[in-house]
């Protein structure tokens, strides 16, 4: 039954007005992560896949298209229905090979619960990534610099090479913030409220987190309307995002600065990526040569650092918003910017890894 005008709360009215250009909206939740501001979060009733952050008259909002959870739950069902995918989860011998990608949950109970957990975990990574854009004040920057009112994830074509380059740097920052906040959150939910996350305590939450996040990068790249990986692409390639993820989540030093335990060795992003890209290749979803893509991604990593001018601009916006995430020379927080030596080290690690597969 559709709601009459008076049935909407004030939050729902604001949310609906902000996102009505995309479609009808759902009920709305207030997110209050850092006690600075509240962010309005809800779903937009659309079959396609997108996540959008926006700043409207001082209100910060995140809208996710309902196509995203639908796609994710189908994808993870298909993944874990394959007896050869992630055999360490549950009892894969209960699954039967199905060449037609028929949508059905895995037959093994544990794998079925894992598929649900993966879908939820991936959605939360997207949510934390959007929160990253908001908290790091990327919305202020793209509004003032590029006259963009809505920060869309898919598909997005920048108007200039400069805008594309800046946006790719912002994406890396948002992934960085999302990596630690979502991993921390996921572990807490797994431990404290296992029913809510469909947790089977025999499973390793770190492994599920890695599978969920790396799958997301592959899915987003696969769905990108602008398949040409040209200079106006607004997002780093999934391979670049993978390299960054490897840096953040499995680095002991980085985890220490973020006050969390590093990712379990068995959930190392490179191992999980190896399994996933093998599966995607078998399913013919990946047509290009992953080895060449990794090498290209590694070469281009130094372009994913923000210029000083923009770093200062963001720092000023953050002061105005009321909470500064980082500043130059501040070592008390994990600096979201990577240096050249780190990037070179990680790219050679990835190339070595690919050489062994
Ligand atoms: Zn983004």
Q: Is the CB of residue 190 less than 8 Å from the CB of residue 42? A: no
**Distance from C-alpha of 176 to C-alpha of 333, rounded to nearest angstrom:** 13
Q: Which residues pair with residue 52 across a beta bridge?
A: 63, 152
- The predicted pLDDT at position 286 comes to 60
Ligand 1 centroid to residue 130 C-alpha, Å: 6
- The predicted pLDDT at position 243 comes to 77
Q: What angle, rounded to 10 degrees, do the helices at 238-250 and 269-282 form?
A: 150
Q: Is the CB of residue 325 less than 8 Å from the CB of residue 136? A: yes
Ligand 1 centroid to residue 268 C-alpha, Å: 23
Ligand 1 centroid to residue 332 C-alpha, Å: 25
Task: At 301, give phi and psi (nearest 5°).
Answer: -65, -35
pLDDT (tens digit, 9 = 90+) per residue, 72-96?
999 999 999 999 999 999 999 999 8
Ligand 1 centroid to residue 142 C-alpha, Å: 12
- The predicted pLDDT at position 341 comes to 55
- The predicted pLDDT at position 104 comes to 81
The total domain count for the chain is 1
Ligand 1 centroid to residue 93 C-alpha, Å: 38
- The predicted pLDDT at position 108 comes to 95
Q: Tell me the residue range of the domain where 21 lies.
A: 5-356
Instruction: Say which residues have a Cβ less than 8 Å from residue 298's Cβ, sequence separation at least 6.
Output: 239, 243, 343, 346, 347, 348, 350, 351
Ligand 1 centroid to residue 22 C-alpha, Å: 18
Ligand 1 centroid to residue 136 C-alpha, Å: 11
Q: Is the CB of residue 254 less than 8 Å from the CB of residue 248? A: yes
Ligand 1 centroid to residue 126 C-alpha, Å: 8
Residues less than 5 Å from ion ligand 1, measured at CB: 171, 174
Ligand 1 centroid to residue 8 C-alpha, Å: 29
Q: What is the mean pLDDT of each run of 10 residues along the chain (357 residues)?
A: 59 93 90 73 92 91 93 93 93 81 83 94 92 89 89 76 86 85 88 87 93 91 61 75 77 74 87 87 66 68 76 83 54 42 53 49
- The predicted pLDDT at position 271 comes to 87
- The predicted pLDDT at position 357 comes to 39
**Cα radius of gyration (the chain):** 20
Q: What is the pTM of this model?
A: 0.86
Q: Is the CB of residue 157 less than 8 Å from the CB of residue 234? A: yes
- The predicted pLDDT at position 329 comes to 41
H/E stretch holding 261: none
**Residue from 73, 88, 313, 304 nearest 202 by CA:** 88
């Amino acid at each position: 039954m559709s709601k009459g005008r008076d049935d909407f709360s004030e939050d729902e009215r604001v949310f609906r007005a902000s996102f009505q250009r995309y479609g009808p909206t759902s009920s709305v939740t207030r997110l209050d992560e850092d006690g600075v501001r509240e962010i309005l979060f809800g779903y937009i009733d659309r079959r396609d896949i997108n996540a959008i952050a926006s700043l409207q008259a001082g209100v910060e909002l995140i809208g996710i298209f309902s196509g995203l959870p639908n796609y994710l739950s189908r994808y993870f069902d298909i993944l874990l229905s394959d007896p050869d995918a992630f055999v360490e989860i549950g009892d894969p011998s209960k699954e039967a090979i199905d060449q037609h990608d028929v949508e059905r949950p895995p037959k093994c109970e544990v794998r079925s619960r894992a598929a649900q957990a993966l879908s939820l975990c991936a959605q939360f990574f997207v949510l934390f990534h959007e929160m990253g854009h908001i908290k790091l004040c990327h919305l202020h920057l793209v509004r003032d610099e590029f006259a963009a009112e809505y920060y869309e994830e898919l598909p997005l074509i920048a108007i200039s090479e400069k805008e594309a380059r800046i946006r790719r740097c912002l994406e890396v920052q948002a992934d960085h913030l999302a990596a630690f906040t979502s991993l921390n959150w996921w572990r807490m939910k797994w431990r404290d409220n296992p029913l809510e996350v469909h947790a089977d305590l025999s499973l390793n939450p770190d492994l599920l987190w890695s599978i969920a996040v790396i799958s997301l990068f592959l899915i987003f790249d696969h769905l990108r309307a602008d398949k040409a990986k040209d200079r106006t692409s607004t997002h780093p390639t999934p391979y670049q995002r993978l390299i960054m993820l490897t840096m953040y989540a499995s680095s002991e030093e980085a985890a220490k600065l973020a006050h969390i335990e590093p990712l379990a060795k068995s959930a190392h992003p490179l191992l999980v990526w190896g399994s996933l890209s093998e599966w995607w290749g078998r399913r013919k979803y990946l047509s290009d040569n992953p080895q060449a893509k990794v090498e290209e991604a590694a070469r281009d990593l130094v372009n994913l650092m923000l210029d000083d001018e923009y770093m200062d601009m963001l720092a000023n916006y953050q002061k105005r918003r009321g909470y500064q995430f980082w500043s130059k020379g501040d070592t008390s927080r994990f600096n979201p910017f990577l240096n050249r030596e780190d990037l070179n080290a990680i790219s050679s690690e990835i190339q070595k890894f690919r050489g062994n597969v």
